Amino acid sequence: MSHGNNGHQDSKRAGDFNEKRVDKRYHVPAAYKQHVKLQVRSGNAFETVDIGNFSRRGILFVSPVQLDIGSSVDCIISITQWLEKDVSFSARIKHCVEKNSSFIIGANIESVADVNCFEVLAEVHDFVMRQHDVRL
């Protein structure tokens, strides 16, 4: 993780993004964020960040630390109440926008340690969302 600028403009203005994802996005509502945890490696330690959404090829999260565009990060995502296994993956930072003393970061998922587990994660997410819709 970078704690500063790497010599060029790392942040883009909000709204300057062209949507490129074709895969289904899995949004994480505020009510479920206590159960869905995303950790990103910061130096030698993992730091918990606020996940916004994910797809099979990308992830959006909010971090207190700026990340350099083009850098690669190791991540772990888990659904603590429903899934016993963490999903480890690496991602490449595509955009980093400062907002309210935090950074909104989008990254491409480059490799997943266990693709089958990622599929299970998506299925658990869909199950949770269906249960949520039923209760409304």
CATH number at residue 76: 2.40.10.220
| Per-residue confidence (pLDDT) for residue 26, from 0 to 100 | 77
| Per-residue confidence (pLDDT) for residue 94, from 0 to 100 | 96
Q: Which helix (H) or strand (E) holds 2?
A: none
- Is residue 129 within 8 A of residue 79, CB to CB? The reply is no
Domain count, the chain: 1
pTM over the 0.75 mark: no
Phi first, then psi: what are they for 105, rounded to 5°? Answer: -125, 130
| DSSP summary character for residue 32 | G
| Per-residue confidence (pLDDT) for residue 20, from 0 to 100 | 60
| Per-residue confidence (pLDDT) for residue 17, from 0 to 100 | 52
| Per-residue confidence (pLDDT) for residue 83, from 0 to 100 | 64
| DSSP summary character for residue 65 | S
* Low-confidence residues of the chain: pLDDT under 70: 1-21, 81-84, 117, 120-121, 124-125, 127-129, 131-136
In a domain, 13, yes or no: no
| Per-residue confidence (pLDDT) for residue 131, from 0 to 100 | 63
Task: Please give the Cα distance from 64 to 98 (Å, whole number).
Answer: 9
In a domain, 16, yes or no: no
| Per-residue confidence (pLDDT) for residue 9, from 0 to 100 | 41
In a domain, 48, yes or no: yes
In a domain, 15, yes or no: no
Task: Please give the Cα distance from 113 to 107 (Å, whole number).
Answer: 17
Domain of 51 in residue numbering reads as 26-135
In a domain, 130, yes or no: yes
